[in-house]
Chains A and B, each alone.
Chain A
Amino acid sequence: MVDLGIKIHNVEFKNPVLTASGTCGFGEELSDFIDLSRLGGIVVKGTTLNHREGNPYPRMAETPSGMLNAVGLQNKGVKNFVNNIYPRIKDIDTNIIVNVNGSTIDEYIAVTEQINELDKIPAIELNISCPNVKEGGMAFGVSCPSAEAVVKAVRKVYNKTLIVKLSPNVTSIAEIAKAVEGQGADSVSLINTLLGMAIDAEKRRPVLSTVTGGLSGPAVKPIALRMVWQVYNAVKIPVIGMGGIMNATDAIEFILAGASAVQIGTAIFKDPTIPVQVIDGISSYMEKHKIGSISELIGGLQM
């Protein structure tokens, strides 16, 4: 038996495979397809202080080896999560992590304070990288001072595990990672989607209602891998890698580049059983290469 267990700050994960925010609902939506307790963790849909309707349709465009989305953080607000969703999912035998969003620092704080009260949420993922909202979101994640300000403020009100989700739409993601580490982040997750655009040549119009959207899927994997490797070499806190992972080999590449854990996102749209296939595939890889513990692989890239 191989040991797939990892630790991020003080949270133990049975394996390094999590489902990414915005691609797995609240976990329940996948329960017909997979045994949720097999997952290392579930990062639930981005949550804001108030109900958000999100952006108008159309919100999606298929692109070569990927897709653009412009959902815009549609969610029913943190109170709905606390009162209606949390009771239904809290006893799933995996780590439930809430992705926290805000238009202002005060909103991030307000959401975090309410999530902090929930015993069975061991960590939050602070989303300073959503490209699809007009206010806040990515704006916080593209400069060191604003990233520092929001992480500092949230750190003050949250003493469980604080993961900060970084934007790839920056000149140096390693600088941003160092900045949030300096303000007490326990881990960073990357990458969120890359800002992109699709045009319908026949109609001579943008495909998305918002004109631009976030690119994800295998198309972004090389960029994500590069960024995970750069951030791993820049910070001491654990890195959670994501971006176009479709199978166990992709996941192992991220782990070799320095990721302690990975998130599966857009792949779920294509096949919701992929997260479990990735877990099984990592086990097989470790058996084949006689690796006893996944921790031996983290950052194990041979140069």
Chain B
Amino acid sequence: MPSNTKGMNKTVQDLLLLENQQLNNDNFLLKLKSPVHLSGILPGQFVNVEIKSAREIFLRRPFSVLDVDYQNQTISLLVKILGRGSKKLTEITPGQKISVVFPLGKSFTFPDPGDRVLLIGGGSGVAPMLFLAKMCGLPADNVHVLLGAKTINDHINVDDYLKFGHFYYTTEDGSKGERGFVIDHPVFKEQLSKFTRIYTCGPNPMMKAIAASAKKANIICEVSLENMMACGFGVCLCCVEDTNEGHKCVCTEGPVFNVNDLKW
């Protein structure tokens, strides 16, 4: 965990784009330099990025934080092209400035020292899982990371993170790791009871299936939701999730929720 976890005030800043690297077919890694310190940003939190240049793109686009270099004040985002906004963002060239609102939302709950954790990421949901693997403070033997994608080309290179845990992969076509979905992987299907906490981010059907198994096995499970939002800081009330305590804003009361609080 970073030395300063007291959090930081939310802020709007122009960040300098240092790198915009295409990782595979539709995933890009954006590295941005901040003029202010980033010491409060934790895994599970997100940033809201302004995309200029098109009238069709009026609102900012939210992205999970993939990594933070606290010392050099840089933040990395994994941008998967999903629509017009993300497409435009991947076309910005290094040297330009991008307006970003951060840090937004609540982070994952950090594990206790004795925990054995399973981190499951699907699609662009791998970003907060990698950041959490790096930051969670557990020995690598207690951190197991399961990443799912459609095909080998959709998996990003995670070499920089291998030292933080044990990695497993699935692809729907069997081109990398086990064939099938993440819930078909033996580490999930056969070894789930070894874990004391599960964290997940990805498509809702994937997270719902994981949540159901976690509940059945009585394992603490936190999921990160991606509901459509306008503001990102709790004023528009558009991104609500129906929880056991009524509508909650994913942007301020999430995006991380304990599955027991959701009506899943």
List residues of chain A with CB under 8 Å of any chain B CB.
22-25, 29-30, 32-33, 45, 53-54, 56-60, 62-67, 69, 71, 74, 217-218, 266, 268-273
Contacts and interface: CB of A to CB of B under 8 A. Distances in A.
Contacts of A64: 55-56, 58
B256 interface: no
A66 B241 CA distance: 23
A218 B240 CA distance: 25
A268 B238 CA distance: 14
Interface in B83-131: 99, 101
Nearest to B246: A53
A53 B247 contact: yes
Chain B's interface size range is: 20 to 34
Contact of B12 (A53, A71, A273): A273
B206 interface: no
Dominant SS at the A interface?
A: loop
A22 B237 CA distance: 8
Contacts of B144: none
B230 interface: yes
Contact of B230 (A25, A74, A269): A269
A266 B235 CA distance: 10
B242 A270 contact: no
Given A74-B237, A270-B60, 6 more contacts: A23-B236, A29-B235, A32-B10, A53-B246, A57-B242, A65-B58
B53 interface: no
Contacts of B230: 60, 67, 69, 266, 269
Given A57-B242, A74-B247, A269 B231 contact: yes
Interface of B: 9-12, 50, 55-60, 99, 101, 227-231, 233-242, 246-247, 252
A271 B233 contact: no
A29 B242 contact: no
B107 to A, nearest CB: 17
A59 B252 CA distance: 16
A71 to B, nearest CB: 5
Contacts of A66: 58
A267 to B, nearest CB: 10
Contacts of A271: 12, 50, 99, 101
Contacts of A270: 50, 58-60
Given A63-B58, A64-B55, A71-B238, A33 B228 contact: no
A222 B256 CA distance: 40
A116 to B, nearest CB: 26
Contact of B233 (A65, A74, A266, A272): A272
B58 A54 contact: no
A60 B238 CA distance: 6
Contacts of A71: 236-238
Contact of A32 (B9, B58, B239): B9
A60 B229 contact: yes
List the 9 closest pairs (A to B, CB-CB), nearest first.
A60-B238, A32-B10, A269-B231, A32-B9, A269-B230, A25-B235, A59-B238, A71-B237, A29-B234
A69 B50 CA distance: 20
Contact of A65 (B55, B234, B237): B55
A289 B258 CA distance: 57
A33 B99 CA distance: 14
Nearest to B60: A270
A67 B239 CA distance: 14
Contacts of A218: 58
